Amino acid sequence: MSGGVETTQLQVNRSYQRVFADGETIFDEGDEGLDLYVIQSGRVEISRSGAGPEDARRLVARLGPGDFFGEMSVVLGEHRTARAVALGETTLLELDGETLETMCMEQPEIAIRMIQRLATRLITAERKLAALGLDELVGPLVRYLVSLMDESGDELRVETSLRQLSVGSELSLVETHEALHQLMDQKLVRLDGQALIAPDRAALASALTRLARAS
């Protein structure tokens, strides 16, 4: 979105700059996702937590001037799924959802450039997905689903969303979508409205065992 968000009167009135020191956290996982950020100067590192409390964080991206981040939480109205940290002194333009919507309506070129950036990210994610083996893709989701099981009943039923599955399995949304379809093709899970159902707990646990042996 470089060059697409200029200092107009609209932005002066409805948005503001924020300066973050080196190493300062801009937002963390679980925070409310109320604002989108555009990098005016400096750099930002995006990372997600590891599978366990002592595991190293997983780098998602390093972004520079002209890049934007935090848009998914604003659009979907959900909490942050990653941590954003300033690398060096960093100046950001902070836009809430209402301001962003107004800007896109009054300056359509901003919306177009955002769509172009999001499309580029999707293409990159799909290329990474193509490079993953089946075990690397399905394994994290199966492990997460198995971790939700209790001792009662044969069927696992959980009210969830694609984003919640993404966070729990530590996969991207694109990867989670593909992994979910792989499990559905194998009849290990099915969807019932907003609920994800694993009708055969033993089969799901067995799939996890097979994946562990293959790794």
pLDDT at 6 over 50: no
Q: How many domains does the chain have?
A: 2
Is the same domain home to 126 and 140?
A: no
Identity of the amino acid at 79: H
pLDDT of residue 143: 82
Question: Which CATH number fits the domain that encloses residue 89?
Answer: 2.60.120.10
pLDDT at 204 over 80: no
CB 162 within 8 A of CB 72: no
Is the same domain home to 197 and 127?
A: no
CA 76 to chain centre: 11
Is the same domain home to 113 and 156?
A: no
For range 182-195, the mean pLDDT: 85
Is the same domain home to 59 and 113?
A: yes
Condensed to tens digits (0 to 9), the pLDDT of residues 48-82 reads 876 555 556 778 889 999 888 988 777 777 788 88
Nearest to 187, CA basis, from 199, 170, 195, 169 = 199
Q: Give start and end residues of each alpha helix (H) in the chain.
A: 9-14, 71-76, 97-106, 108-131, 134-147, 162-169, 173-185, 201-214
Question: Which CATH number fits the domain that encloses residue 206?
Answer: 1.10.10.10
Please give the model's pTM, rounded to 2 decimal places. Answer: 0.55
Token pair belonging to 198? 């694993």
